[in-house]
Amino acid sequence: MLTVPNIITLLRVLLVPVIVFLVVERDYGAALAVFLLSALSDLLDGVIARRFNRMSQFGAVLDPLADKLTMLAAVIVLTWQGLLPLWLATAIVVRDVVIVGGAAAYRLLFGRVEMAPTGLSKLNTFLEFALVCMVLAAAAGYTAVSPGLAPAFVLVLLTVTASGLHYVWQWSRMAARQARRRE
């Protein structure tokens, strides 16, 4: 069922190629505006879903998928242009592959997956989005943030690594519990 939050999330998915196009065209100011619109609409769909009890299984799957698509697309094109370091992009991509792969493996082995994002994961997502905004703002010439990006790169790497390991630990514990129940 398409609810208002799900429609907003679908629109976020449609913004991904727009962001990629704008970054490829080096229209960083417009890319920043669309990226911010996407981030704000992510907050909006969550607020509407919770406030008006419009949460759905479809939305629970689509919302994090839209986040991952947006982030991965932005990270890949910014890295391709030399605005993000390859080591950071690799860590972000590997983390997301591990999370999605873990969820898929769990679903295949044990059935339905119900896992809410952790506080650490939410912090990581916020920091990744903030970093992409900082990079886009610097590339657009809006800020002189470029020298300050190195510590931000390291901070995001730390949260990417910690949240990725935390998810692996959680999936492993849940899988072990399910395996014991089957014995």
Give the pLDDT score at 145.
Answer: 66
Tell which wins on pLDDT, 132 or 108. Answer: 132
Tell which wins on pLDDT, 135 or 64. Answer: 135
Residue 60 φ/ψ, nearest 5 degrees: -65, -30
Residue 127, amino acid: L
Domains, in order of start, for the chain = 4-182 (1.20.120.1760)
Average pLDDT over residues 152-163: 96
170 has pLDDT over 90? no
Tens digits of per-residue pLDDT, 112-153?
777 678 899 989 999 999 999 999 999 999 987 667 789 999
Average pLDDT over residues 69-94: 96
Q: Give dist(CA 24, CA 8) in Å, integer.
A: 25
Residue 17, amino acid: P
3-state secondary structure labels for all residues of 6-46: HHHHHHHHHHHHHHHHHHHCCCHHHHHHHHHHHHHHHHHHH
165 has pLDDT over 80? yes
Q: Give dist(CA 88, CA 82) in Å, integer.
A: 12
14 has pLDDT over 90? yes
Give the pLDDT score at 104.
Answer: 84
